[in-house]
Amino acid sequence: MSEAHGGRRVLMEASGGNRLNRRATESLSCQRWPLFSWFLFLLGLVFLVWCCIQSSSTQWESSSLHEYYHRLLNQSRRVPLPPPYRVYPKHGLKPTEPSEGPERPTAPPPQYHPAYARNYHFIMDHPEVCRTRAPFLVLMVPVAPQNAAARDAIRQTWAAAGEVRGRAVLTLFMLGLSGGAGVQEELRREDLLHRDLLQSDFTDTYRNLTIKTMVIMDWLATRCRAAAYAAKVDSDMFLNVHNLVSMLQTPGVPAADYLTGMLMWNRPVVRSRASKWFVPEELYPGPRYPPYALGMAYVFSNDLPHKFVEVSKSIGAFNIEDAYIGECMKELGLAPAAPPDPAQFKAYSPRYDRCEYSKVITYILGSPEELLRAWKDLKKPGPPC
């Protein structure tokens, strides 16, 4: 083989090698480019997610406390809701409305707390009861839906008189939802007979007593503004209505911004989780409650319910209903007043005494049967003392 021919072969081999190298390089670059594209795509996706998190962090922080309130005060147990209502997780229960044309976005309310009464709606109502004759005193009794025995005992005793000392007195029972269709049907029949039940669509539990109380205030503020006074009275109470009306007729008793009962002063907030009155610092950070009237029974001028409902929009809810009303009073720049005779508002009695029961306004009793016995004895002929 000539030297020239050998040289051409070497050149050809080199040229072929260069082509192979170029192909290998091109092949490698083609393999690297998809990997690089995926890397850029993933990097962009991470950046997009980070931006979304940053933009929504403020909204999450503002709603977290509401969610905590909602879980604590309106327990997650599902209850049957009547057809005209729909659950809105962030704003409570709202009535459904027929749509007219394209749906327009609506701004949520600026503040929301579970105790704000306008988040709930009456499914059993009697707005007409205050129209025929404006009552001097409205007695509002929060009671469990299943506790028909307590309602019947009250109807036969201190709620029986529609007029006391020449003044109209009205008694109504406030209930929430029980969760049972059978109970609801019994309530419907009971209300057809007595026309004295009010029911709203909150879950009726002990932890929801603050909601129940604020719904009472909302009913008074929207259905019975003409009444002079109202009282919240627990269903296990003996109530001497004659003495209560007499107290409200005492000269000097205010007609406005007035709330009285058995007053509690400088009461510490219970922090023990073992207690049913436990309130965590997240719900009420202060160590002590403002002055308030014990929830067994307190009476107030009927200008206050509207003020309570409005101010509740700016007061975080907690589950001690009477202390919550005290907090509303404080926020309004008011304070409960001592009754003309503080000895008339009493809690527990060691034993029944006819003379004593004729002088007081309140006592806590153990059962509906105890109320019936005490009332029958108190009303028998002859002086009580």
How is 321-385 classified by DSSP, letter by letter? Answer: HHHHHHHHHHHTT------SSGGGEEEE-SS--HHHHTT-SEEE-S-HHHHHHHHHHHTSSS---
User: For position 119, what pLDDT does the model report?
Assistant: 87
User: For position 41, what pLDDT does the model report?
Assistant: 61
User: For position 345, what pLDDT does the model report?
Assistant: 98
More confident residue, 263 or 48: 263
The mean pLDDT of the chain is 79
**Strand locations in 278-335 (E):** 292-301
Confidence of residue 148 (pLDDT cuts 50, 70, 90): very high
Confidence of residue 211 (pLDDT cuts 50, 70, 90): very high
Q: Is 334 exposed, middle or buried (0-12, 13-18, 19+ CB in 10 A)?
A: middle
Q: How many Cα atoms sit within 13 Å of 365 on the Cβ side?
A: 25
Q: What is the dihedral of CA 109, 114, 115, 117, to 10 degrees?
A: 60
Q: Is the pLDDT of residue 365 over 90?
A: yes
- Alpha-carbon span 164 to 140, nearest angstrom: 16
Mean pLDDT of 249-260: 97
Mean pLDDT of 204-233: 96
Q: Is the pLDDT of residue 305 over 90?
A: yes
Chain centroid to CA 293: 19
Which range has the top average pLDDT, 28-37, 49-58, 129-138? 129-138
Q: Residue 27 is encoded by which pair of tokens?
A: 């092949």
User: For position 45, what pLDDT does the model report?
Assistant: 62
In degrees and rounded to multiples of 5, residue 309 shows phi and psi of: -60, -45
Mean pLDDT of 301-317: 95
Q: Is the pLDDT of residue 176 over 70?
A: yes
Residue 98 vs residues 118, 200, 324, 377: alpha-carbon distances, Å? 20, 22, 37, 57
Q: Is the pLDDT of residue 33 over 50?
A: no
User: For position 56, what pLDDT does the model report?
Assistant: 37
Q: Is the pLDDT of residue 74 over 90?
A: no
More confident residue, 209 or 349: 209
